[in-house]
Chain A
Amino acid sequence: MIDLLIIGGGPAGYVAAERAGHAGLKVVLFEKKAMGGVCLNEGCIPTKTLLYSAKIYENALHGDKYGVFGDNIRFDYEKMISRKKKVVRKLVSGVESKMKSNQVTVVKGEALIEGRSAEGIEVSCNGEKYNGKNLLVCTGSEASVPPIPGLREAEGVVLTNREILEMTERPASLVVIGGGVIGMEFASFYNSLGTKVTVVEMLPEILGGLDFEVSAMLRDIYTKKGITFNLNAKVVQIAGNKVVFEKGGETHSVEGEKILLSVGRRPVTQGFGLENLGVELLRTGIKVDEKMRTNVPGVFAAGDVTGFSLLAHTASREGEVVVNNLTGRNDIMRYNAIPGVVYTNPEVAGVGETEESARAKGIAYKVARLPMAYAGRFVAENEGGSGVCKVLVGEKHGEVIGVHMLGNPSSEIIYGACIAIEQEMTLKEMQEVVFPHPTVSEIIKEVVFNF
């Protein structure tokens, strides 16, 4: 009897498999495509690889500001893409070897849940049957494709994150439908390489869910860098290379060699026999409790398939919660300290409550903010650059409830704020922490003393 069957080898599945295997459980993991899932193959990792190439190119172009001059600075798009493939290959094989070293059996193929019997939960794959005591469903999500007229006919022009990463040539112009995290990262990448980029966003601000002030600042920076933003704009039609949208009662259109569709993601709950177990869904995702249990005993779900907090690091932690509880350690999933990062240049990072979410929840808070220029290292390394750091604390006790930053390298700093929130540290404790000098991270300390 297998202790844990896992469907899906993304950040939820492979981390859960690794932890469970390490704890001595007998684990079988089914993956139909490539280990690492969307994150490693079509998401986080390939985009960050490309964005780093773009950043180096941008830095080289503007080296003069730092007294460094280079002639004939150019990039090779194909080289970038092939390096991306190499990075992905390396990391995928890294995950595979982790599976091996933790005695996880990986079955490559499409898994199908047959149902449950006295022998446990039965899953079949490649004509073989597997019986497990427990099942972890982490089938992830896929780009959602809304029914926009003309969208199907424009195949080849309209791309999702998957197809755009496979392109071998840089488009001269790109229209991005949806200014969320995925949309903004691709917009940033192609903008750096000189593509004419237009963002069409339905909401009043890009990067929905992030701190409003930070999002607006980033939009200003990218407007100066040459991206055109259309906010409050509803796409009504796609006509070949043209995106037609309504804004303020008027109809506009914008043309692009390619069109990126990044309007959100949809949990994958069909096509693998989930219905054979009678697992309950909530809106589009699988309904789970704080221990990631579904309504069916022994069946768990983690990652994007829950339709909630669609982030790789959320997925991994959710997978770990499942394994911890299976191996006798009481653990619950907390969502109040999940960081969010946007790898634009400059980067955006945030964790916890924003002013908007705190107000919506009726939390009494205090906020302090400082420009990034208060950190010496930031000034040294960001000629003419701007940024901000905001800290939100509870009004009565001063516990940290949210930190939001704009400026490089906030993605590497934000985890400190995660720890503070998880620990429920108050300003008093924060004041006693020593930050390395000179680093950009000191900005948090500066803001803490600014209350």
Chain B
Amino acid sequence: MATIIIMPKQGQSVESCIVTTLHKKAGDTVKKGEVLFSYETDKASFEEESPVDGTLLACFYGEGDEVPVLDNMMIIGEPGEDISVLSVSASAEKEEEVVTGKPLPAISRDHIPALETQTSHAGNLFISPRAKKLAEKNAVPLSQLTGSGPKGRIVEKDIMTYLTDRPRMTPLAKKVAAEAGLQPETKGTGLAGRARAADLSASVNSIYGMDYEDRKLSNMRRLIARSMHASLQNSAQLTHHLGADARRMLELRKKAKAALEEGRMMANITLNDMVCFAVIKALKKFPEVNTHFLGDTKRYFRKVHLGLAVDTERGLMVPVLRNADDLSIAGLSGQLGELAAACRSGSVNPDILTSEAATFTVSNLGNYGVEMFTPVINLPQSAILGVNTILPRPKDLGNGVYAFVPHIGLSLTYDHRSLDGGEATRFLKQIATEIEMLEIEF
């Protein structure tokens, strides 16, 4: 009895997922627990494992396809088994679409060699048989040619002209060009400038300059694009920059490291943890900032739900640490670490990634040496703090003594609809003060 593999539903808000990699293709034998395919939602990526042993009989979608959740994705069974009933028995309304729209694409794709696809494409062109033969022999990309014959028909002369214009190619280069659809670059490196196989590159249309490829955006990229653009379009944001004396922080970091090494402390408290801790304290003193701006109302939160921007291979993620104001710095450090790791491994719960879940966000680029930037607010939050690298700055230490003192840069972007400059500045100043006065018990 064949088993149907459906696209799982990950989280309540997810309606469709994008297939990133097919690890098995139709005809492969699979074992229980082996990964069948990888897919991603807006925010995270997952792998689907086979529930049974058997042979993959059919795969209804290809890599890059967007698949509605709970829709049939694959069928596993015994070779030769009749699966025609199964493959059409997806939810009734989608029945037609599955049958006509996706007729076992994985199977058919595997059986058409690249060369045939190209010639069949050429078959649709208006071309003389002689020209076609010559073009095939010399790997001429017909789609780039304009015919000079009657009604734009491509004739032998057009191919000849093309051949004299492009660098001469070695037999191997011609073979590779025909199979992979490549063309020589302008300069060949072989005998008398002849193009060798190594000189080939993807075909470039000299008129339109198509020296690029179009790739579909991942679901996650699309979502980031939409929300970032909406943020700049729909709010009045601006950024204030300020530096905080980082001597105390650096001193505490040293102590934290020592405490960790000596086993007196379980958490590895980083500079970022300290900044977040200071931000939470400041937010408690500035309830105006710990808000969502909702057009004609403003929502004041009693608790601090802190969003932390995390850079991952798939793109930016902002997981939320709920009730962050209840945590000690050691607890905060541990939980932030776990959240970041979950994002990077792709195992994070999508529900804590929405911008509504956080009341305020911290984005730290200090590690990368960024000196100043203007973070973009995750609407409907009222503000976001950008954390910059630590740089030495001259400071008046009193009694006419000036010295270079390490300062950490803070960049606060706020929505002017929600906050005014004075309030934002005082809040930013408060963060700096909290950083400068930070206390940690070891």
Contact = CB atoms under 8 A, between A and B. Distances in A.
Interface of A: 330, 332, 334, 394, 397, 399, 422-426, 428-429
B191 A422 contact: yes
Nearest to A397: B175
A428 B190 CA distance: 20
B282 interface: no
Given A330-B187, A397-B176, A428 B171 contact: yes
A334 B189 contact: yes
B197 A399 contact: yes
A422 B190 contact: yes
Nearest to A425: B171
Interface in B174-216: 175-176, 187, 189-191, 193-194, 196-197
Given A332-B189, A424-B170, A424-B190, 8 more contacts: A397-B197, A422-B191, A423-B170, A423-B190, A423-B194, A424-B197, A426-B175, A429-B171
A425 B197 CA distance: 11
8 contacts: A394-B172, A397-B197, A399-B171, A399-B197, A422-B190, A423-B191, A423-B194, A426-B172
A429 B175 CA distance: 12
A167 to B, nearest CB: 43
Nearest to B170: A424
A397 B191 CA distance: 20
Nearest to B198: A424
Interface string B151-177: 000000000000000000011110110
Contacts of A330: 187, 193
Interface residues of B, number: 14
Contacts of A332: 189
A397 B189 contact: no
A424 B196 CA distance: 7
A330 B196 CA distance: 15
A397 B200 CA distance: 15
Contacts of B196: 424
Nearest to A427: B171
Contacts of B197: 397, 399, 424
A423 B170 CA distance: 6
Interface of B: 170-173, 175-176, 187, 189-191, 193-194, 196-197
A437 B175 CA distance: 30
Contacts of B171: 399, 423-426, 428-429
Nearest to B169: A424
Contacts of B176: 397
A399 B191 CA distance: 16
A397 B172 CA distance: 7
- Top 8 closest pairs, chain A to chain B, by CB: A424-B170, A424-B172, A399-B172, A429-B171, A397-B175, A422-B191, A426-B171, A425-B171
Contacts of A334: 189-190
Nearest to B195: A424
Nearest to A423: B170
A448 B189 CA distance: 26
Contacts of A429: 171
A399 B189 CA distance: 17
Contact of A425 (B170, B187, B189, B193): B170
Contacts of A394: 172
A22 to B, nearest CB: 18
A425 B191 contact: no
B228 to A, nearest CB: 43
B288 to A, nearest CB: 63
A256 B175 CA distance: 57
Contacts of A422: 190-191
Contacts of B187: 330
A422 B176 CA distance: 16
Contacts of A397: 172, 175-176, 197
Contacts of B194: 423
A330 B190 CA distance: 11
B252 to A, nearest CB: 49
A400 to B, nearest CB: 9
A60 B170 CA distance: 46
A285 B170 CA distance: 33
A297 B85 CA distance: 75
B234 to A, nearest CB: 54
